[in-house]
Amino acid sequence: MKATSGHFMLDDKVEYRDLAQVFPEVLTTFLEETNQMPDDDDVLQMFIYLNTQALERNEKPEGYNRKGRMRMVFPIGSKQFYIKSISASSEVVRLGEKLSKLLTKAGIKHTLQWNALGSEAD
């Protein structure tokens, strides 16, 4: 199976603050698996810190929305986040399933959907 995006639809009872503890592992895994790990560890720690601080305040975090092979986006207006690639690949599916396992292990109830962005949804 190939996909351009994997969407983690959080359960209605999940709050952003519930993600705070697992987020460092989710972000690090995302960056490692997509070969987008910053060269400088201070940059990685800054991404983790800023996102975790927002989550602890129960606010939508930034995610990782930089130019690159793949992005992790927390869209405005819905309790979800998604990973998006510039092209359909099995890597999106593999990484989506890996991140889903991390969330499940942390007790974050969610569903995983593929290609759920407006024009991609069929």
Give the residue-averaged pLDDT of 30-58: 95
User: What would the pLDDT profile of 59-75 be if each residue is shown by its tens digit?
Assistant: 999 999 888 889 999 99
Strand order in the sheet with 70-73: 63-64, 70-73, 80-89, 3-10, 110-114
Q: Would 97 be classed as within a structural domain?
A: yes
Task: Tell me the residue range of the domain where 51 lies.
Answer: 3-114
Q: Would 120 be classed as within a structural domain?
A: no
Residue 1: pLDDT band with limits 50, 70, 90: confident
In this prediction, residue 110 carries a pLDDT of 97
User: Is the predicted pLDDT of residue 46 greater than 90, yes or no?
Assistant: yes
For the chain, the domain total comes to 1
User: Is the predicted pLDDT of residue 122 greater than 90, yes or no?
Assistant: no
List all residues 6 or more positions away from 53 whose beta carbon is below 8 Å from its beta carbon: none
User: What would the pLDDT profile of 92-106 be if each residue is shown by its tens digit?
Assistant: 999 999 999 999 999
Q: Would 38 be classed as within a structural domain?
A: yes
First to last CA, the chain: 15
Residues 58 and 23: their CA atoms lie apart, in Å, by: 13
